[in-house]
Copies of this chain bind each other. A is one copy, B any other.
Amino acid sequence: MTTTQARTEPDPGPGTEPQAGAPAPAGHGGHGPHGYSAQKDAHLKRLRRIEGQIRGLQRMVDEDVYCIDVLTQVSASTKALQSFALSLLEEHLRHCVAAAAEQGGVELDAKVAEASAAIGRLLRS
């Protein structure tokens, strides 16, 4: 776990994502364990952009930027997070829920209830 290190890392700068172009490990194709592996690079890229937005917010606060402009940037970051969530959810429905549908019955019900609960949390956040 590199959280602490990562958090004190001063600069995302160039070369922040050295592994982005590297070949995905075997077995992480479109039908990987959780459905979203094929999109992993795209997801990571989106999240790094959001991380950059959050750093931008810190800079804005630090430089006493006008509050309304900070709020505009918060809205943009929230939108980006929701959009990331939506793409993750779409993959989940396509892969996990569809796989459960083939099994039917209890398994499908559980997956659908789980996905609905996740959508509910997104709606309330």
Contacts and interface: CB of A to CB of B under 8 A. Distances in A.
A75 B82 CA distance: 8
B55 A12 contact: yes
Q: How many protomers of this protein does the assembly include?
A: 4
Contacts of A68: 92, 114-115, 118
Nearest to A25: B64
Interface of A: 1-3, 6-8, 12-17, 19-20, 28, 32-37, 40, 43-44, 47-48, 50-52, 54-59, 61-62, 64-68, 70-72, 74-79, 81-82, 84-86, 88-94, 96-99, 101-102, 104, 108-109, 112-116, 118-125
Q: What DSSP secondary structure best describes chain A's contact surface?
A: helix
A61 B42 CA distance: 10
Contact of A93 (B37, B61, B112): B112
Contacts of A89: 67, 71, 116, 119
A54 B1 CA distance: 14
Contacts of A124: 75, 82, 124-125
A58 B52 CA distance: 13
Nearest to A121: B75
